[in-house]
Structure 1
């Protein structure tokens, strides 16, 4: 459950950054105690919404991911980056030990997870740094420092770790050490990978109609676009269709580093009779203007789908089979009679 919360947190921060000129660097870390097939400690490094690096306790080095032909090569961010990841490894191991002691956890597999990272403004000035911790799928505590104030939130039972002195220590540590380091690393990766995170890929937009019982389903589909922020709307006769009657709308990965989104509307037979004009309208950073795709509804028998019950369907099938056999038999009899009525050829 906490893994889902980590992803949601990362998604929310990324959506807030999209279109605002902000960029972010996030580390999603997991520490596992107990016997498993996974490394004891692993980290996925994300630049905005693109995975660029990987580290685990078995490799003990940062590896590049995401680029064809270079995946598996070292990701050179200096020895300081490896030191910070090793320090995170040690810190999360101690924290999980404390968790097991505080909550009397027995032997077995236990997991400590952390989302940590920073954001940078368009002018490359630091915006914030934060971490969020969880243990065994439960939210534990979080810290956020955004250059103007320092906040800490802890789950009940965790306050024993955070007295006034410790809060002051962490405020100084994050503002004077971790934030400058994180922003320096973010700038370095941004310069290296700007062709990935600053690219603009134009969406492919289609309007799809599908026959359904009692009418049709009209779907606006936009695929293969980047960045992920997009505005996709459905219009009926130049009037915006209320979002409450639409299904879908969640931006999803497309499996190739790009994104897709769809919104669907159920259109009944009565609406098809009125022959409305439906238009998909798309606004995206890659488009100079809005992109529109239209379709005019036409009521016809092709949009009326009838459901036949199983017994009736079997009777219809049997009747069609009898007709087919009867016609074949009549044809066979006609050929036989024609053969018999032909005169015999004269013998030479």
Structure 2
């Protein structure tokens, strides 16, 4: 992946790396790069498989389904290559973390699991990362970035609202800070009470979720009593790369709480004009009928 955009996958059946982004732009992967990619992703798969088998035995989790996860990649910063890092997890528990310092050419390892590296294996891994993994990752990242620059470097401003919804069961209120439609994915969303951040343990939500159009959304909620709602003032603060300044959002009513406030002003004006026309026509008809009735009464008196 390039940031959060999938650019290829490893075909386990063919033992081959398939770069989907090149097909989209009608660009081929050179033989040397293809061979390096096959070797890198193949070794990652083999290492993860053997590590998963070891951890199953170590944690005595031989039955059922288990998940081995690995995030491995490199960073490109404004001033050149950033860190190269690998993080492992097993059944959702964080494990081995490896950092490679590009400038020093040193490998740093944090290992809570009982997996011992010999000195020879450490030297081998340092050499592989220095000569193969890190250079290939950086060159591939730069090449893909040129192809998808218009996508990964775009900035889309978030639409932010602070919603209030009555909870019928408790009689309290749920206050929700919602940001949606933004890119890139990193955003700071803060729910404030009287100008101070609400403690995290009182907040629900906060997960980053994808939208169908390639943007993201996030919401943070807080349940308060009716008394707290009256005694405190709630606001929502959003910080994002697409924004020049922080967005400070005041309370809004969620659709369904107050239907009138959810209707656009133009619709309200149209409805008001329509009602005015109906009232005018009704008055005219009543006046006409009254005059006709009065005329009939006068005619009878003359007779």
Question: TM-score with structure 2 length normalisation?
Answer: 0.65
Does 2:86 match 1:131? yes
Tell me how far 1:47 sits from its aligned partner. Answer: 0.8
The structure 2 residue matched to 1:259, chosen from 216, 220, 227, is 216
Give the distance between the partners of 2:192 and 2:92, measured in 1 at CA.
42
The structure 2 residue matched to 1:250, chosen from 172, 189, 207, is 207
Give the distance between the partners of 1:236 and 1:157, measured in 2 at CA.
46
Does 2:238 match 1:282? yes
Q: Structure 1 residues 83 and 132, CA, compared in 2 at 3 Å: closer, same or farther?
A: farther
Deviations, residues 97-128 of structure 1 (Å, cap 9, x unaligned): 6986996999x9998764322122222x2222
Deviations, residues 219-277 of structure 1 (Å, cap 9, x unaligned): 1100111112222223345x224224332223222343211111222232223444x54
Q: Structure 1 residues 146 and 82, CA, compared in 2 at 3 Å: closer, same or farther?
A: same
Structure 1 counterpart SS, 2:28: coil
The structure 2 residue matched to 1:83, chosen from 32, 35, 40, is 35
Give the distance between the partners of 1:233 and 1:99, measured in 2 at CA.
38
Structure 1 counterpart SS, 2:157: coil
Structure 1 counterpart SS, 2:165: strand
Give the distance between the partners of 1:236 and 1:156, measured in 2 at CA.
42
74-83 vs 280-289, greater mean Cα deviation: 74-83
Tell me how far 1:173 sits from its aligned partner. Answer: 2.3
Structure 2's unaligned 5+ residue stretches are 259-303
Does 2:8 match 1:56? no
Tell me how far 1:185 sits from its aligned partner. Answer: 0.8
How do 1:180-191 and structure 2 match up within 5 A? 180-191=135-146
Aligned to 1:31: none
Structure 2 counterpart SS, 1:119: strand
Structure 1's unaligned 5+ residue stretches are 1-45, 303-348
Give the distance between the partners of 2:177 and 2:113, measured in 1 at CA.
46
Tell me how far 1:92 sits from its aligned partner. Answer: 4.9
Aligned to 2:163: 208
Deviations, residues 33-84 of structure 1 (Å, cap 9, x unaligned): xxxxxxxxxxxxx11122222231345352426x9xx76x876343333212
Does 2:107 match 1:158? no
Aligned to 2:189: 232
Aligned to 2:72: 116
Give the distance between the partners of 2:101 and 2:68, measured in 1 at CA.
25
Does 2:2 match 1:47? yes
Structure 2 counterpart SS, 1:47: coil
- Conservation of the 8 A alpha-carbon contact between 2:40 and 2:133: no
Tell me how far 1:90 sits from its aligned partner. Answer: 4.6
Structure 1 counterpart SS, 2:250: strand
Question: TM-score with structure 1 length normalisation?
Answer: 0.57
Structure 1 counterpart SS, 2:242: coil
Q: Structure 1 residues 270 and 121, CA, compared in 2 at 3 Å: closer, same or farther?
A: same
Please provide the CA RMSD for this pair: 3.9
How many residues in Structure 1 have an aligned counterpart in Structure 2?
244
Structure 1 counterpart SS, 2:218: strand
